[in-house]
Amino acid sequence: MQEFQSTVASPVGLHARPASLFSRSAKESGCNVLLAKITHGVTSEFVDGTSILRVMTLGVKFGDEIIVRVEGESEAATARLLQGLVESADH
């Protein structure tokens, strides 16, 4: 299992296009991807990162901290890809 913690750089957070890119990339990887939001040091319940609706329900905004867990055959590459998406402001 690969796990990383990142700060969301997209000005709109993980909403609409960034959430779609994240969930589509997670789904296409074939890995099990879980995502949680950290608020005031408390981690939310993990949700399925392959579901755009689940990702959007977390209400992740610009500057929020998240934790992503990736498990599967290509977990290292998938974790790097997803971390790059989260930390990019180009969405």
Question: All domains of the chain, ordered by start, with CATH?
Answer: 2-86 (3.30.1340.10)
What is the per-residue pLDDT for 1?
A: 96
Cα–Cα dist 30/39, whole Å: 29
In angstroms, what CA-CA distances link 43 with 58, 72, 74? 11, 23, 25
CA dihedral 49, 50, 55, 56 (to 10 degrees): 170
pLDDT tens-digit readout, 1-60: 999 999 999 999 999 899 999 999 999 999 999 999 999 999 999 999 999 999 999 999
Residue 12 tokens, joined: 């709109």
Q: Is the pLDDT confidence value at 91 over 80? A: no
